[in-house]
């Protein structure tokens, strides 16, 4: 039986995508070859890469606006240093909203000065800092749109005349926004777009070429732009499955349709968290993420009973990250509303039994 999969990442993808992707392993495009055994330079794969890149830009509304979409390797974690390698000459400003921001800050410090404009560490990152100012003498401002571990999401982005860089790993393609505010957007595929192994990087070309250091070819965005993400062998299968997922998003009505469903799922879950006296939410209400909902039991002694209940109901991946404890329901684009209902029913059932 298919599980209700709330895993934080790698995570659920659409069933249609799994079917098509598994078929391509046996016979890709009726070619008599598996997608796993063809050259990344073959016409069939080059068209996959092109479609993936153009779908990403199209869905984000960034076509013909000076942006390039790249599919790179090394995860979002590699972007923590690549961003600084390519953009940081003297000083950059970072907003620290959790584990991933902290890691990005650590890497950037190897390349230049880093100003942490604000941090929510004082409350174990359960909120998004709002009143801070961004210095004028910086090379760029970096933030994390959605904090996968703590379950907070930035609803507003600060206005700055400097390049805006954003780690959108866990909420890309989940909500409508004016993406043209950003100069670099990056996202590990495995949270909302595809399998692990590739990272989408959207680069506005005019932010490049401004640092004086030599950049190794593999670390240089310009290399990957000039080679259309084929400077070295790309993660062929991960790009292919990401492309199928992007097609799926488009066929369902694009980001707008994703956002509508994501809001329904979030509303269903959070309203039960708030109503049910046995549970309490972790993140500050106004900063709650529709992607990753974090909540705890008020009385930990109910843990064993509740855990057995949701596991018996076919739910997977509901345990919270060790730095928050409790539960985390990751409700990415491909998770159906019915799966959220199953968890809500378990929460109600626990209340009845107690």
Our finding on whether 245 is near ligand PLP (CB under 6 A) is no
- Shortest distance, position 327 Cβ to ligand PLP, whole Å: 17
How would you class 347 by CB atoms within 10 Å of its CB: exposed for 0-12, middle for 13-18, buried for 19 or more? Answer: buried
Q: Given the rule CB under 6 A, which of 72-80, 173-181, 272-280, 314-322 is the region that contacts ligand PLP?
A: 72-80
Q: Under rule CB under 6 A, which residues in 80-139 are in contact with ligand PLP?
A: 100
Size of the residue set binding ligand PLP (CB under 6 A): 12
The answer to whether 320 contacts ligand PLP (rule: CB under 6 A) is: no
Question: Could you confirm whether 191 is annotated as catalytic?
Answer: yes
To the question of whether residue 104 is assigned a binding role by annotation, the answer is: no
Residue 44: how many other CB atoms lie within 10 Å: 14
Going by their DSSP bridges, the two strands 152-153 and 315-316 should be labelled as unpaired
- Among residues 68, 171, 183, 191, which one is catalytic? 191
- Rg (Cα) of the chain, in Å, rounded? 21
- Alpha-carbon separation of residue 306 from 8, 266, 321 (angstroms): 20, 20, 17
Instruction: Determine which residue in the list 7, 120, 126, 144 makes contact with ligand PLP, applying CB under 6 A.
Output: 144
**What are the strands, taking DSSP E only, across the chain?**
4-5, 67-72, 91-96, 113-119, 141-144, 146-147, 152-153, 164-167, 184-188, 199-204, 279-281, 292-297, 315-316, 327-330
Distance CA 191, CA 334 (A): 11
Give residue 233's Cα distance to chain centre: 23
Q: Does 76 bind ligand PLP (CB under 6 A)?
A: yes
Q: Given the rule CB under 6 A, which of 75-83, 262-270, 311-319, 321-329 is the region that contacts ligand PLP?
A: 75-83
Which residue in 107, 139, 167, 259 binds ligand PLP (CB under 6 A)?
167
The reply to whether 167 belongs to the active site is: yes
In the complex, what is the shortest distance from the CB of residue 75 to ligand PLP, in angstroms, rounded to a whole number? 3
Report the alpha-carbon distance of residue 354 to residue 352 in Å, rounded.
Answer: 6
Query: Which segment (58-66, 74-82, 115-123, 341-349) binds ligand PLP by CB under 6 A?
Result: 74-82
Which residue numbers are catalytic?
100, 167, 191
Question: Which segments are annotated as binding site for pyridoxal 5'-phosphate?
Answer: 76-77, 100, 148, 167, 190, 232-233
């Amino acid at each position: 039986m298919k599980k209700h999969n709330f895993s934080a990442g790698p995570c659920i993808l659409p069933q249609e995508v799994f079917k098509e992707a598994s078929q391509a392993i046996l016979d890709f495009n009726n070619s008599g070859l598996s997608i796993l055994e063809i050259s990344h330079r073959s016409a069939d794969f080059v068209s996959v890469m092109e479609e993936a890149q153009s779908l990403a830009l199209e869905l984000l509304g960034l076509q013909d606006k000076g942006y390039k979409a790249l599919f790179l390797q090394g995860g979002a974690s590699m972007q923590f240093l690549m961003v600084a390698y390519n953009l940081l000459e003297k000083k950059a400003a970072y907003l620290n909203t959790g584990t991933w921001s902290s890691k990005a800050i650590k890497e950037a410090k190897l390349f230049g000065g880093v100003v942490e404009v604000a941090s929510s560490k004082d409350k174990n990152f359960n909120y998004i800092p709002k009143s801070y100012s961004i210095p004028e003498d910086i090379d760029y401002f970096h933030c994390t749109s959605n904090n996968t571990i703590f379950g907070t999401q930035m609803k507003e982005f600060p206005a700055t005349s400097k390049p805006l860089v954003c780690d959108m790993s866990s909420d890309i393609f989940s909500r409508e926004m004016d993406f043209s505010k950003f100069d670099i957007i990056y996202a590990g595929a495995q949270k909302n777009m595809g399998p692990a192994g590739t990272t989408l990087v959207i680069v506005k070309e005019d932010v490049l070429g401004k640092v004086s250091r030599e950049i190794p070819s593999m670390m240089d965005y310009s290399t990957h732009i000039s080679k259309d993400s084929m400077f070295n062998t790309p993660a062929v299968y991960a790009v292919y499955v990401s492309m199928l997922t992007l097609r799926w998003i488009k066929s369902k009505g694009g980001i707008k349709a994703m956002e509508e469903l994501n809001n329904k799922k979030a509303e269903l879950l959070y309203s039960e968290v708030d109503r049910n006296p046995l549970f309490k939410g972790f993140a500050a209400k106004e900063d709650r993420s529709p992607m990753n909902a974090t909540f705890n039991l008020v009385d930990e002694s109910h843990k064993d009973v509740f855990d057995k209940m949701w596991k018996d109901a076919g739910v997977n991946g509901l345990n919270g990250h060790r730095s928050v404890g409790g539960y985390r329901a990751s409700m990415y684009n491909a998770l159906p509303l019915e799966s959220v209902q199953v968890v809500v029913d378990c929460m109600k059932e626990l209340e009845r039994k107690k």
